[in-house]
Amino acid sequence: MKVYDAASIRNVAFVGHTASGKTQLASAILSDAGMVNRFGKVDDGTTVTDFDEEEIARKHTLSASLGFAEWNRHKINLIDAPGIGNFLSDARAALQVADAAIIVVDAVAGVMVQTEKVWEAAAELELPRMIVLNRIDRDRASLARALHSLRESCSRAVIPIQLPIGEEKSFRGVVDLITRKAFTFQTDESGTFAEGPVPGDMSAEVDAAREALIEMVAEADETLMEKFFEAGTLADHELVAGLRSATAAAKLFPLVCTSALLNIAIQPLLDAIVSYLPSPAERQYRGVGKAGADVLRKADEKGPAAAFVWKTIADPFAGRITMFRVVSGTLKADSTVHNKTRDTSERFGHLLTMQGKAQTPVPELKAGDLGAVAKLKDTLTNDTLGDKGDDVVFPALKFPEPVLSYAIEPKSRGDEDKISTAMHRLEEEDPSIRYSRDPQTKELLLAGQGQLHIEVTVAKLKRRFGVDVILKPPRIPYRETIKTSTEAHGRHKKQTGGHGQFGDCKIKVEPLARGADFEFVDDIFGGSIPRQYVPAVEKGIQDARTRGYLAGFPMVDFRVTVFDGSYHDVDSNELSFKLAGSLAFKDAMTRARPTILEPIMNVEVYAPSDFAGDLMGDLNGRRGRIGGMDTRGVTTIIKAQVPMSEMLTYEQHLTSATGGRGSYHMEYSHYDEVPAPLQAKIIAAAKAERAGVEVEEV
Ligand SMILES: Nc1nc2c(ncn2[C@@H]2O[C@H](COP(=O)(O)OP(=O)(O)OP(=O)(O)O)[C@@H](O)[C@H]2O)c(=O)[nH]1
Ligand SMILES: [Mg+2]
C-alpha cells in the first residue's frame, strides 16, 4: 500500500438525509476505483462501509466508517456517515476530520431535515461542500426541483457543474459543463461508459447552464469578474481555477448527478472530487496551543507529529480500534506516541488504513491522511496523539446530551457485572449514550438519542458482548421546583443519656429562573450558626433536594439562603446541623408551592403534505404546541414543542399513520410545568413505585 502525501489526498465525509444513497455511493466508488472486486449493494447487505450486522439487518448506516479510493494518483479517503437523526453525532465527527463535505441529496425528495442539519454543521466548520444529486434514475426525480430546494434551504450558491443526460428511467449519464464532454453509461451496473460530444438535443440547455456556471465563478472573484466583463466569458483554465478556489473557500457549492444503484456517473464524480475539492495541504487545522492560544496547523509531514482521534470502535475480540486524522508530521508503525490529552505513552503496533472493516497495515501515515491503530491502552475519542514536546491539542467534538432514558435489566441474573464492563466499552465507542444506575431505585439506566438508538445499543450489547437485556418502558427525567418564596425553620434536638444532639437553622427559599439549578447563600452574621456548621446545613439541604418533595424528583431552579439559627456549646455537631437543614427544607416545601417540571422537546415532523392535517391534530392531542409549518415540494415540515412523555410512542404512530413515509427529529428544548391533573398521576405513580421497591427489599 502506497503512502500518500497531503497534496495527493482528499478527505471527504458523505453526509445527508437517510436513504439518500451515501452508502450505495461509497460502494459504487470503491468498485469503480477497483478497490474491491464486487459491486456491493445496501439491499443485499454487501457494501464495504455498512459491515456491522446491525447495519446490514436494518439497511441503514449506524456508525461512521472509513474507506479509500485510489484515483488518478490520488487517495480519496471517504467517511460514510449515518443519516438517521439519532446517529447524527457521527456525521458531525466525520465532518470535523474531513476537508470537504459531500452532501448527498435524493433527487426525488430534494432537501430534507437532515440535509439541512448537516449543511449547517458543515457551514459552522467552514467546510467546502459538494452536492451529489443521487437517485436520478427514480420516478419523479428532478434536477430543477431539487436545485430549487437546495437554493431555498441551503444556499443560493449551489451550482450544477454537470447536467444529467435523461432523467428518471432514462438517466444515462452526465454532460460535464466545464469540458462539454458527455459521459454515457451502460445500464448494466458495470460502470462502463463512452465519452462523446454533447447530445444534439441538449446543446442549448448545456450552453445556458455553462453560462450560469461561468457567471457564478466570475462573481466569486474580483479579477475574474473584470475578465468576464471584458471578454464576456472565461477561458477554460480560468473557469477551472476559479471554480476550484471558490469551492475551497466555500463560496460556491458545485453539484453533480449520479445513480449509485445503477453505477452511473461515478467516475466523473471522482474526477470532480480530485479536481475541485481542496487537499489537506491547502487547509489549516484548528488547534489550541500553550496557554489556550489558537493555533492553525498546516499539514506538513516534516512538522511535529499531531493526530486527532475522532472515533473509537469497541471490538470484543480485536480490542479497541482508534481512528484518527494525522494533522501534522508523520506517524510511524512500531513507535511510541504521546497521548497529549492524558499525558501517557501509547505503543503503536501496526498502523492501518481501513476499507470498511478490512485493515491494511502501512509503514507510516503522513500529515493529512486518515488512518487507524489497534489496541491502544488509554486513548479515547477526542484525544490528541503526537510528539511529546509539542503543545498543540485539538478541540473536542461535542456530543449531544441524551434525550431518552430506559431502564434495562439483564435476562440472566449473573450478567450484572458483564453489563457494566460492556456498557463502558460501548460508551467509549458512542459518547452520545449514557449508562448509569439510579441511586434511588437501583435500576440500570441506558440513555440515548431516541428509541432506535437505544434499541441498536441493546442489540450491540447482545451480539458483541453476549449480554441479553430486557428494555423497560422509558423514564421521563421529571424535576421539581417551587413557585413562591418563603421562610422556614428546621430544628434537630435529641437528648439521649449523656451527649445530646442540637442543630437549628432558619432559611429562606426563592424560585430562580428555569435552568438556574440551585444556589446556596450563606447569610449568617454574628455567629448564630458557627462557621464550621454552615456547610453541614448546605449538605442537608442538598441531600433533601435531590430526593425531591412531591414525587422523588430532584428539586431545581431555586435559591436557599440560611440567615439565622442557634447552637449548643456541647451538643451541636455536623450531623445535627445536616438534619436541621433537611428539616428546614421540608418545612419550606409545605409553603413554597412545589410543582413538577417535565422536559419539552423540539420536534420536527417531515411527511408528504397529504398527512399534514392529521399529524398536526395528533401533535395537538399530545399536548404539542405547533410552532410552524413549511412546505417543500410535496413534503410538509411541522415544527412543534411537545412534552417528552407524549413522544414515547411517536415513532410507531408516525410509521403507521404515514405508511412509513414520515420521519421526525427531536431534541431537548427546555423544562416546563406539568399541568395539575397530570401531576397528581405522576405523584401517585411515584408513590406506588416506592412502595413496590420497599416491598421488594424487605
Ligand atoms: N433507485 C436508486 N436507488 C438508490 C440509489 N442509491 C441508493 N439507492 C437505494 O436507496 C436505499 C438507501 O441507500 P443507502 O445507500 O443505504 O442510503 P444512505 O444514505 O446510506 O442511508 P443511511 O445510511 O440511513 O443514512 C437503498 O435501498 C439503495 O439501494 C440510486 O441511485 N437509485
Ligand atoms: Mg448509509
Angle at 374 between CA 369 and CA 380, to 5 degrees: 80
Q: What is the pLDDT of residue 63?
A: 96
Ligand nearest to the CA of 134: 1
How remote is the CA of residue 672 from the centroid of ligand 2, in Å?
A: 37
At residue 341 the predicted structure's pLDDT band, cuts being 50, 70 and 90, is: very high
Mean pLDDT of 13-41: 97
Residue owning the nearest CA to atom 6 of ligand 1: 21
Q: Which atom of ligand 1 is nearest to the CA of 104?
A: 19
Q: What is the pLDDT of residue 291?
A: 83
Give the residue with greater pLDDT, 414 vs 58: 58
Most confident of 114-118, 163-167, 690-694: 163-167
pLDDT per position as a tens digit, 195-208: 999 999 999 999 99
Residue 29 confidence (pLDDT) above 50: yes
Residue 451 confidence (pLDDT) above 90: no
Torsion over CA of 479, 480, 484 and 485, rounded to 10 degrees?
Answer: -100
Q: What is the pLDDT of residue 692?
A: 67
At residue 695 the predicted structure's pLDDT band, cuts being 50, 70 and 90, is: very low
Asked if residues 424 and 461 have their Cβ atoms less than 8 Å apart, the reply is: no
pLDDT per position as a tens digit, 309-334: 999 998 877 789 999 999 999 999 99
List residues near ligand 1 (CB under 6 A).
18-24, 42-43, 59-61, 82-84, 104, 134-135, 137-138, 259-261
How remote is the CA of residue 200 from the centroid of ligand 2, in Å?
A: 37
How remote is the CA of residue 259 from the centroid of ligand 1, in Å?
A: 10
Instruction: Enter the C-alpha cell of residue 331.
Output: 506517524
Residue 181 confidence (pLDDT) above 60: yes
% of the chain surpassing 90 pLDDT: 81
Residue 626 confidence (pLDDT) above 80: yes
The CA distances from residue 390 to 304, 306, 364, 377, 649, in Å, are 7, 8, 19, 21, 51
| Residue carrying the nine cell digits 490529552 | 341
At residue 442 the predicted structure's pLDDT band, cuts being 50, 70 and 90, is: confident
Mean pLDDT of 493-503: 85
If one residue of 14, 15, 23 were mutated to test the ligand 1 pocket, choosing by the most ligand atoms within 8 A of its CB, it would be 23
Asked if residues 552 and 513 have their Cβ atoms less than 8 Å apart, the reply is: no
How remote is the CA of residue 279 from the centroid of ligand 2, in Å?
A: 24
Mean pLDDT of 248-267: 98
DSSP string of 186-218, one letter each residue: -SSSS--EEEEPPPGGGHHHHHHHHHHHHHHHH
Residue 698 confidence (pLDDT) above 70: no
Q: Which atom of ligand 1 is nearest to the CA of 41?
A: 29
Residue 634 confidence (pLDDT) above 80: no
Question: Do β-strands 351-355 and 404-410 pair in parallel, antiparallel, or remain unpaired?
Answer: unpaired
How remote is the CA of residue 178 from the centroid of ligand 1, in Å?
A: 28
If one residue of 22, 24, 112 were mutated to test the ligand 1 pocket, choosing by the most ligand atoms within 8 A of its CB, it would be 24
Mean pLDDT of 173-186: 98
At residue 113 the predicted structure's pLDDT band, cuts being 50, 70 and 90, is: confident
Ligand nearest to the CA of 21: 1
Task: For the chain, state the CA radius of gyration.
Answer: 30
How remote is the CA of residue 315 from the centroid of ligand 1, in Å?
A: 27
pLDDT per position as a tens digit, 363-401: 999 999 999 999 999 999 999 999 998 989 999 999 987
H/E segment holding residue 229: helix 222-231
pLDDT per position as a tens digit, 46-85: 999 999 999 999 999 999 999 999 999 999 999 999 999 8
Residue 242 confidence (pLDDT) above 60: yes
How remote is the CA of residue 391 from the centroid of ligand 1, in Å?
A: 43
How many other C-beta atoms can be found within 10 angstroms of the C-beta atom of residue 371?
24
The CA distances from residue 418 to 100, 199, 446, 663, in Å, are 41, 64, 15, 35
Instruction: Enter the C-alpha cell of residue 93.
Output: 465527527
Mean pLDDT of 144-148: 96
% of the chain surpassing 70 pLDDT: 98
Q: Which atom of ligand 1 is nearest to the CA of 62?
A: 23
Q: Which atom of ligand 1 is nearest to the CA of 82?
A: 25
Q: What is the pLDDT of residue 603?
A: 93
Query: In 232-339, which residue ranges form alpha helices assigned H by DSSP?
Result: 236-248, 266-276
Ligand nearest to the CA of 103: 1
Least confident span in 28-37, 105-114, 126-135, 218-227? 105-114
Mean pLDDT of 558-566: 97
Average pLDDT of every residue of the chain: 93
For the whole model, what pTM was predicted? 0.82
Most confident of 191-200, 402-411, 417-426: 191-200
How remote is the CA of residue 81 from the centroid of ligand 2, in Å?
A: 6
